[in-house]
Amino acid sequence: MSKKDKLKTIEQDKERWIGDMSKLLSETPERLPRFSTVSDLEIKGLYTPEDIKDIDYSRDIGLPGVYPFTRGVQSSMYRGRLWTMRMFSGLGGPEETNQRFHYLLAHGETGLSIAFHYPTLMGYDSDSPMSRGEIGKCGVAIDTLKDMEILFEGIPLDKVTTSMTINPPASILLAMYIVLAEKQGISKNEIGGTIQNDMLKEFIAQKTFMLPPKPSLRIIVDTIEYCTREVPRWNTISISGYHIREAGSTAVQELAFTLADGIAYVEAAIERGLNVDEFAPRLSFFFDAHIDFFEEMAKFRGARRMWAKIMKERFMTKNPRSWTLRFHAQTAGCSLTAQQPYNNVVRTACEALAAVLGGTQSLHTNSLDETYAIPTEEAVTVALRTQQVLAEETGVTNTIDPLAGSYFIEALTSQIEEQAWEYIRKIDEMGGMVAAIERGYPQSEIAESAYKFQKQVDSGEKVIVGVNKYITDHPPITTWRMNPDIEQRQLRRLREVKETRDNQKVREFLHEIRKASQNGENLMPHIIDAVREYTTIQEICDVWRDIFGTYTDPGYF
């Protein structure tokens, strides 16, 4: 029988089945009038070969490690090497966080990930009036290289890779890491890691912004240019959908806006005159692993296929490594509930499984108590163990992309991809992502989706166990509290650093940064010189605020 005839038979069988079903349904109807994903994408009751009849295996799915990478970016995937287990950590001061790093490494974590406190994220020092009440609360306090030295005590930088969730001052933290390595006797060639360095999604979603979009992009391109030449194993940007999703977007919006941000960075770096095949292999991505199991898997698979097409067809790259979308995933913070917090362990496990089946390169699993505070050691251990159980007990790592070929998964992957292309076309028409952000387009699309979802939860259309269904009281859980002495210790250390460093040199290097900011010279070498002399993060950021101005929240709602 030809393929066409086979499809015909399937179609006829299905029509007969639908006929039988409708009789059955008139007696016992389905549970819901409409079945949809958490993003409100409608899902059919049954998928058959008809749903994937336009998919060509070699063209659209292919083999792992081979264009268009739908099945994964490496040819052996988890049979070769497991994903990096990288727990986002930062609490109190560098001493406490160093202790947490050692604890996690001793318990089988395979990569580090730094969560900075808000003043560092926003380019303020601990002694700024803007930092009052915030020191060490939502991450680790880092003001100068001194803090980084304490943070990495006993951790050789050639033995571990580090991800830093840092945006406006990303170049400064990278510079500190480079100098720290230098002090450990390790060259720039040997260190590996990632700075988030994705300012576009800050304007869209995460909202730790400092400078307006254009100078923000300029500093990002400086880091890309510098690392491509000098720090070959460094991922220069982690183009992030996570925060877009957490702010309330749908899966399709997360995918589309993230890839559109990626396009904007590639364009900006090309405009600088950089060779795309030299810098593109070091762009990395970061996605949310949300609660809708199949939707997420399809999103990850679709993301790889789309980026491969963008890089090959739109940017005409030749290097196969430019085509690969490597990503980190984090389970969805916004899916966790304060009610009955132990249920969060189950949510996180399902989300982590979706990320693994979606082929992630690196994973953070949230802890059950994160709707209250920074996780306790006990809670973070359960979260890490969740990854280890998935990796080494469940057998899901035995074969590559096990859900490929599922009528549903392949159809959903294509459907999500098509809808995401639609958004990218719209953003292109607006003149690209920077123009779209200036118009407030992605921001208002996300706010719209967030509000719609909240209404669906409020009406009970979307169920959240323990919140709008199966509500019971739960006894309080123990949460992490910051020792109040940490704040004073941090302020004292900053004061001592400022008193004992060579302030003449600091002034000179700050002046060099000012000059380079104005004349367009690459800032990285000057930042490295400055942080080596213990120049603070805010001292550098204040120069930029002075020259480039600041961005303030337009406050759409």
Summarize as ranges the residues that interact with another protein (CB under 8 A). 118-119, 121-122, 124, 129-134, 137-138, 202, 206-208, 246-248, 334, 337-339, 371-374, 447, 450-451, 454-455, 457-458, 464, 466-468, 476, 479, 482, 552-557
Distance in Å, CB of 409 to another protein, minimum: 29
The rounded distance, in Å, linking the Cα atoms of 335 and 370 is: 11
User: How many other CB atoms sit within 10 Å of the CB of residue 278?
Assistant: 16
Is the torsion defined by CA of 292, 298, 301, 302 positive or negative?
Answer: negative
The rounded distance, in Å, linking the Cα atoms of 95 and 515 is: 35
Considering beta carbons, is residue 185 or 549 the nearer one to another protein? 549
Report which of 392, 341, 387 is spatially closest to residue 365, judged by C-alpha positions: 387
Query: What DSSP state is assigned to residue 460?
Result: T
Is the torsion defined by CA of 541, 443, 244, 265 positive or negative?
Answer: negative
Distance in Å, CB of 490 to another protein, minimum: 15
Distance in Å, CB of 199 to another protein, minimum: 13
Distance in Å, CB of 370 to another protein, minimum: 8
Distance in Å, CB of 457 to another protein, minimum: 7
Considering beta carbons, is residue 134 or 533 the nearer one to another protein? 134
The rounded distance, in Å, linking the Cα atoms of 346 and 349 is: 5
Report which of 408, 370, 328, 295 is spatially closest to residue 49, judged by C-alpha positions: 408
Asked if residues 179 and 533 have their Cβ atoms less than 8 Å apart, the reply is no
Asked if residues 247 and 205 have their Cβ atoms less than 8 Å apart, the reply is yes
Distance in Å, CB of 539 to another protein, minimum: 18
Considering beta carbons, is residue 84 or 197 the nearer one to another protein? 197
Distance in Å, CB of 126 to another protein, minimum: 12
- Scored b (16 or more CB within 10 A) or e, 529-549 reads bbbbbbbbbbbbbbbbeeebe
For the chain, counts of helices (H) and of strands (E)? 21, 9
Considering beta carbons, is residue 228 or 376 the nearer one to another protein? 376
Distance in Å, CB of 458 to another protein, minimum: 4
Distance in Å, CB of 461 to another protein, minimum: 13
Considering beta carbons, is residue 338 or 430 the nearer one to another protein? 338
Helical ranges in 204-275 per DSSP H: 213-230, 242-246, 251-271
**Residue 58 structure tokens:** 């070699």
Asked if residues 51 and 298 have their Cβ atoms less than 8 Å apart, the reply is no
Distance in Å, CB of 555 to another protein, minimum: 3
The rounded distance, in Å, linking the Cα atoms of 250 and 450 is: 8
**Residue 14 structure tokens:** 């299905």
The rounded distance, in Å, linking the Cα atoms of 339 and 351 is: 19
Query: What DSSP state is assigned to residue 507?
Result: H
Considering beta carbons, is residue 275 or 454 the nearer one to another protein? 454
Considering beta carbons, is residue 421 or 453 the nearer one to another protein? 453
3-class state of residue 239 by DSSP: strand
Considering beta carbons, is residue 13 or 458 the nearer one to another protein? 458
DSSP string, 164-180: EE--TTHHHHHHHHHHH
Considering beta carbons, is residue 208 or 414 the nearer one to another protein? 208
Which residue type sits at 82? L
Helical ranges in 247-366 per DSSP H: 251-271, 276-279, 293-309, 343-357
Phi, psi values for residue 332, rounded to 5°: -80, 110
Distance in Å, CB of 212 to another protein, minimum: 15
Considering beta carbons, is residue 107 or 207 the nearer one to another protein? 207
User: How many other CB atoms sit within 10 Å of the CB of residue 469?
Assistant: 9
Distance in Å, CB of 58 to another protein, minimum: 42
Considering beta carbons, is residue 207 or 545 the nearer one to another protein? 207
Distance between the two ends of the chain, CA-based, in angstroms? 58
Considering beta carbons, is residue 8 or 439 the nearer one to another protein? 439
